[in-house]
Amino acid sequence: MEQQDNLISEISRRNFVRGAGILAVGVGAAGLSPLQALAAPMAPKKGGTLRVGVVGGTDDIIDAQYLFKMADVIRLNIGWEGLMNFDEKFKPSTVNGLAESVEVKSLTEYVIKMKKGVEFHNGKTMDMDDVIYSWQRMVDPALPGTKAMAAYLNAGGLKKIDANTFKMTLLQPNADWLTTFAQYACTIVPVGYTRTGPQVGTGPYKLKSFTPGVESTHVRHANYWDSGKPYLDAVRVINFSSTDALVNALLAGQVDAAVGVPAALVPAVKKDKKLKVIETSAGKIAPIVLPIDEAPFNDVRVRKALRMMIDRKKIIKQALSGHGTVANDDFSPIDSNYNANGYKEPKQDLAGGLALLKAAGYSKSNPLKFTLWTGSDNYPEVAKAFAEQINSGSGGVAKIEVGVPSDYWDTKYMAKGVGAYTTYWNPKPYLVQAGQMLDVYDETHLAPKGANSPYRKWFEQAVAEPDAAKRRELIKKMQAYHNENGGYIIPFFLNVIDAHSTKVQGIVQRPASLNLDTLGMHFKNVWMA
Amino acid sequence: MRILKFVLRRLAFGLGALIAISAAIFLVTQGLPADPAKTILGRDATPESLAALRSVLHLDRSLFSQYWEWLTNVARGNFGTSFTTQMPISSYLGERFSNSLFLMIVSSAISIPFALLLGGYMALRRDSLFDSAGSFTSLVFAAMPEFVMGTGLIVVFATTVFHWFPAVVYLEEDASAWSDPKGVILPIATLVMGCIPYVSRTMRASMIEVLESDYIEMARLKGVSERKVLLRHAFPNALGPVFQVSALNIAYVVGGAVIVERLFNFPGVGSALTEAIRSRDLPVIQFLSLLIGSVYVITNLVADVATVLVTPRLRTTLP
Amino acid sequence: MNKVSREPRPFLDFIGTVWAMRRAKIGVVITGLICVTAAVGPHLAPFTATEFVDMPNSLHISGALFGTDYMGQDVWSRFLMGGGSILFLGAVSTAIGVLGGAMLGVVAAYVKGSLNSIIMRTFDIVIAFPGILWALLLLSMMGTSNWLIILAIVISTVPRVGRIIYGAAVAVVEKDFVSAATAIGESRMRIVFREVLPNVTSTLLVETNLRFTYSIGGIASLAFLGFTSDPTGANWGTMVQENSSAIILQPWGTILPVFAIALLTIGTGLIGDAFSRVSAGIDRGRND
CB atoms A58 and B42 under 8 Å: no
Q: According to the model, what pLDDT value does residue A24 have?
A: 32
C29 with C96, same domain: the answer is no
| CA-based nearest residue to A406, from B254, C218, B252, B39 | B39
pLDDT for A13: 34
Query: Do residues C233 and A402 make contact, with C-beta atoms less than 8 angstroms apart?
Result: no
Each residue of A28-53: b (16+ CB within 10 Å) or e? bbbbeeeeebbeeeeebeeebebbbb
Q: Which of C213, C192, C235 is nearest to C103 (CA)?
A: C192
Nearest residue to A183 (alpha-carbon basis) of A360, A345, A426: A426
Residue C125 resides in a domain = yes
Residue at C54 is within a domain: no
Which residues from chain A sit within 8 angstroms of residue C231, using beta carbons? 380, 384, 402-404
Distance of CA B289 to the CA centre of its chain: 12
Residues C170-203: pLDDT tens digits?
Answer: 877 776 556 666 666 666 667 666 766 667 777 7
Q: What is the pLDDT of residues A195-240, one digit of tens each?
A: 888 999 999 999 999 988 788 999 999 999 998 899 999 999 998 8
pLDDT of residue A264: 86
Distance from the C57 Cα atom to the nearest Cα atom in chain A, whole angstroms = 7
Indicate if C151 and C125 belong to the same structural domain.
yes
Is residue C184 in some structural domain? yes
Residues C177 and C148 in one domain: yes
Q: Give the pLDDT confidence score for residue A162 in this predicted structure.
A: 92
Best B95, B168, B261, B271 member to test A by mutation, with max A CBs in 10 Å, is B168
Of the pLDDT bands very low, low, confident and very high (cuts 50, 70, 90), residue A31 is very low
Q: Using an 8 Å Cβ cutoff, are A314 and A301 in contact? A: no
Interface test with C, best of A348, A388, A404, A407 (most C CBs within 10 A): A388
Model pLDDT for residues C38-61, shown as the tens digit of each residue: 999 999 999 988 888 888 988 888
Of the candidates B136, B152, B292, the beta carbon closest to that of C130 is on B292
Which candidate in A139, A196, A254, A255 is best for mutational testing of the B interface (most B CBs within 10 A)? Answer: A254
Q: Is the pLDDT of residue A522 over 90?
A: yes
Q: Give residue A25's pLDDT.
A: 30
| Residue A424 banded pLDDT, cuts 50, 70, 90 | confident
At residue B230, the pLDDT reads 80
Are C257 and C268 within one domain?
yes
pLDDT above 70 (res A333): yes
- CATH number for the domain that contains residue C164: 1.10.3720.10
Are C169 and C179 in a shared domain?
A: yes
Percentage of residues in chain A having pLDDT higher than 90: 44
Residue B282 is predicted with a pLDDT of 81
DSSP letter string, A36-97: HHT-SSSPPPP--EEEEEEE--TT----TTEESSHHHHHHHHHH--BS-EE-TTS-EESTTS
Which residues does chain A have within 8 Å of residue B44's beta carbon, measured at their own beta carbons? 10, 12, 15, 144-145, 147
Q: What is the pLDDT of residue C193?
A: 67
pLDDT of B29-50, one tens digit each?
Answer: 775 555 666 666 655 556 777 7
Say if residue C118 is in the same domain as residue C177. yes
Task: Identify the pLDDT of residue B262.
Answer: 82
Distance (Å) from the alpha carbon of A192 to chain B's nearest alpha carbon: 21
Ranking A401-410, B99-108, C217-226 by mean pLDDT, the lowest is A401-410
| Mean pLDDT, residues B55-59 | 73
Shortest CA distance to C208 belongs to which of C47, C85, C93?
A: C93
Residue C211 domain-assigned? no
**Does residue A15 carry a pLDDT above 60?**
no
Query: Is C58 within the bounds of a domain?
Result: no
Mean pLDDT computed over A28-37: 39
Please tell me if residue C148 touches chain A, with a CB cutoff of 8 Å. Answer: no
Q: pLDDT digit string (tens) for A376-401?
A: 777 888 999 999 999 999 988 999 99
> Looking at this protein, which amino acid is placed at residue A70?
M
pLDDT given for residue A315 in this prediction: 93
Q: What is the pLDDT of residue A12?
A: 32
Provide the whole-model pTM: 0.79
Task: Give chains near B: 3+ CB pairs under 8 A.
Answer: A, C
Average pLDDT value over all residues in chain A: 83
CA separation for the pair B249, C188 (Å, rounded)? 39
Is B99's Cβ below 8 Å from some Cβ in A? no
Nearest residue in chain B measured CA to CA from A15: B43
Say which DSSP state A529 is in.
-
Top mean pLDDT of B172-176, B254-258, C112-116, C255-259 is at C255-259
Chain B CB contacts of C237 below 8 Å = 147
Q: Provide, as residue numbers in chain B, all residues whose Cβ is less than 8 Å from the Cβ of A240.
A: 265
Total domains present in chain C: 2
Do the domain assignments include residue C99?
yes
Whether A407 and A377 have beta carbons less than 8 Å apart is answered as no
Do residue C92 and residue C152 come from a single domain?
yes
Q: Are residues C246 and C266 in the same domain?
A: yes
Does some domain include residue C213?
no
Q: Is B47 on the interface with A (CB under 8 A)?
A: no
Residue B214 in contact with partner chain C when CB distance is under 8 A: yes
Contact A15 B33 (CB under 8 A): no
Q: Is C242 on the interface with B (CB under 8 A)?
A: no
CB contact under 8 A, C261 and B32: no
Question: DSSP letter at A187?
Answer: B
Residue A32 has pLDDT above 60, yes or no: no
Least CB-CB distance to B21: which of C129, C237, C266? C129
Interchain proximity A264–C48, CB inside 8 Å: no
Q: Within this chain, do residues C72 and C115 fall inside the same structural domain, yes or no?
A: no
Interface test with C, best of B28, B147, B163, B254 (most C CBs within 10 A): B147
Three-class SS state of A172: coil
CA dist B165 → A348, A414, B179, C184 (Å) = 47, 44, 15, 70
Q: Do C140 and B277 touch (CB under 8 A)?
A: yes
The rounded mean pLDDT for chain C is: 83
Residue A32 C-alpha, separation from nearest chain B C-alpha, in angstroms: 38
**Residue in B closest to A415 by C-alpha:** B43
Residues C222 and C106 in one domain: yes
SS3 call for C173 = helix
Helix-helix angle C201-224:B146-154, to 10 degrees: 50
- Which stretch of A177-191, A216-230, B27-41, B256-270 has the lowest confidence by average pLDDT? B27-41
Q: Are residues C100 and C188 in the same domain?
A: yes
Sign of the alpha-carbon torsion through A452, A457, A458, A459: positive
With beta carbons less than 8 A apart as the criterion, state whether C217 and C235 touch. Answer: no
| Residue A443: per-residue pLDDT | 43
Under DSSP, is residue A284 helix (H, G, I), strand (E, B) or coil? strand
> CA torsion B191→B193→B194→B197, rounded to 10°?
150
Closest partner CB to C246 (pick from A264, A384, A388): A264
Chain B residues within 8 A of A144 when measuring between CB atoms: 41-42, 44-45, 49
Of A12, A248, A411, the CB nearest to B33: A411
Asked if the C-beta of B271 comes within 8 angstroms of chain A's C-beta atoms, the answer is: yes
Distance CA A439, CA A505 (A): 40
Give the residue-averaged pLDDT of C100-105. Answer: 90
- Minimal C-alpha gap between B140 and chain C (Å): 5
Q: What size, in residues, is chain B?
A: 319
Residue pair A113/A132 in contact by the 8 Å Cβ criterion: no
Note the pLDDT of residue B172: 56
In this prediction, the answer to ipTM > 0.90 reads no
| Contact between chains at A314 and C56 (C-beta distance less than 8 A) | no
CA torsion through residues B291, B294, B300, B306, sign:
negative
Q: Is the pLDDT of residue A513 over 80?
A: no
Given a cut of 50, whether residue C4 has pLDDT beyond it is no
* Residue contact B278–A252, C-beta within 8 A: no
- The secondary structure of chain B, three-state, reads CHHHHHHHHHHHHHHHHHHHHHHHHHHHHHCCCCCHHHHHHHHHCCHHHHHHHHHHCCCCCCHHHHHHHHHHHHHCCCCCECCCCCCEHHHHHHHHHHHHHHHHHHHHHHHHHHHHHHHHHHHHCCCCHHHHHHHHHHHHHHHCCHHHHHHHHHHHHHHCCCCCCCCCCCCCCCCCHHHCHHHHHHHHHHHHHHHHHHHHHHHHHHHHHHHCCHHHHHHHHCCCCHHHHHHHHHHHHHHHHHHHHHHHHHHHHCCCCHHHHHHHCCCCHHHHHHHHHHCCCHHHHHHHHHHHHHHHHHHHHHHHHHHHHHCHHHHCCCC
In B, residues 127-166, which contact A (CB 8 Å cutoff)? 166
- Shortest Cα distance from B258 to chain C (angstroms)? 8
As a whole number of angstroms, the distance between CA C226 and CA C220 comes to 10
- Is omega for the bond preceding A173 within 30 degrees of 0, making it cis? no
B 133-192: CB under 8 A from C: 135-136, 139-140, 142-148, 151-152, 154-155, 159-160, 167
**Are C132 and C169 within one domain?**
yes
pLDDT digits (tens, 9 = 90+) for B106-123: 999 999 999 998 988 888
Establish if C8 belongs to a structural domain: no
Range of the domain at C261: 18-43+63-83+235-283
Q: Which of A139-153, A455-469, B295-309, C7-21 has the lowest mean pLDDT?
A: C7-21
CA angle (B257, B258, B263) in 5-degree steps: 100
